Amino acid sequence: MVLVVGEEVAIRRGLDTVPPPALILGGITSVQFGSAFADRLFDQAGPAGVVLLRLALAAVLLLAVTRPRLAGRPRRELLAAGAFGLSLAAMNWSFYEALHRLPLGPAVTVEFAGPLAVAILGSRRLLDLLWAALAAGGVALLAFGSSSGSDSLDTLGLLLALLAGGCWACYILLSQRVGSTFSGVQGLALALGVGSLLVLPAGLVEGGSALLRPSVLAGGLVVALLSSVIPYSFELTALRRVRAATFGLLMSLEPAFAALAGVLVLGQRLRPTTALALAMVVVASAGTTLQARGRRPPPLD
């Protein structure tokens, strides 16, 4: 027990020494390449089955390390962790269903509507709103730029990506609250456990016996590490030192990394319209980042 606690403290201290932008960038890289690997498992276990493996294996790993104690916790903290788990389950399931129908880059770009909403609602400066409008234009171009022809994007996939974006917005706000009340990644471990239980029925129906295949389990473990354990731990640590609105805009780099992962891992083609939409979103993120440089946000309450 002492050894496990010592490992958790060492991990937490190590992450706290890393600048928040580096943590966010590392999390982005990890989660997008994890999504690309998850896409390869859909034909065997289905999107819900892969989500179940991702959340359950990540929960087992983090719960074994953190061993969070529930006794004595205020009810509001436990409810926040539960709501965080609900947002994780809904976000991952809807996104994987979208990813099953869309290329990785477009799916993430449309999903960015969630962090974009957080940025717009949390900003008090006109220039931030202009950057957000540019990013919104990129999302709209992607969604409606190819409304007909063989290259058109699946409508249900777009709607699922938008749903995932709404869940992503809830994730940003809830993760900041959970990260400020739970030590280390204990809140994340609890949330992953809750999320696993919520997707369990659908995961078993879609995945079936494939969930027990060694190759699928191994792939699920890779996805759990790349898409949940590493990025969520990084993001929770970073969110203790940045505003939710700033974090949401920084995360707009996700589409570019997603498109890169789709090209390198899945061999997906990057269309001109998609490239322009990605460029608009990334420029908006870069402008916001440069404008915010040198201003340290106040600590979270």
Two tokens, residue 61 = 């790993």
Task: Give a yes or no: residue 163 inside a domain.
Answer: yes
DSSP letter at 208 equals G
Coil, strand or helix: which one is 81? helix
CA distance 200 to 88: 13
Task: Give a yes or no: residue 300 inside a domain.
Answer: no
What is the DSSP annotation of 88-137? HHHHHHHHHHHHTTS-HHHHHHHHTHHHHHHHHHH---HHHHHHHHHHHH
Higher-pLDDT residue of 146 and 99 is 99
Q: What is the span of the domain harbouring residue 146? A: 2-292
Task: Give a yes or no: residue 85 inside a domain.
Answer: yes
H-helix or E-strand spanning residue 270: none
Task: Give a yes or no: residue 298 inside a domain.
Answer: no
CA-based angle 2:61:248, to the nearest 5?
110
Structural contact between residues 249 and 115, judged by C-beta atoms closer than 8 angstroms:
yes
Structure confidence at residue 300 (pLDDT): 35
Task: Give a yes or no: residue 297 inside a domain.
Answer: no
Task: Give a yes or no: residue 81 inside a domain.
Answer: yes
- For the segment 203-261, what is each residue's pLDDT rounded down to a tens digit? 999 999 999 999 999 999 999 999 988 887 887 788 777 776 666 667 767 888 888 88
CA distance 101 to 161: 10
Single-letter code of the amino acid located at 131? W
- Domain count for the chain, please give it: 1
Task: Give a yes or no: residue 127 inside a domain.
Answer: yes
Task: Give a yes or no: residue 77 inside a domain.
Answer: yes
User: What's the mean per-residue pLDDT of the chain?
Assistant: 81
pLDDT beyond 90 at 48: yes
Structure confidence at residue 12 (pLDDT): 60
- For the segment 55-81, what is each residue's pLDDT rounded down to a tens digit? 999 999 988 888 887 777 888 888 988
When pLDDT is cut at 50, 70 and 90, the band that residue 1 belongs to is: very low
CA-based angle 251:256:259, to the nearest 5?
130
Percent of the chain with pLDDT over 90: 32
CA distance 206 to 193: 20
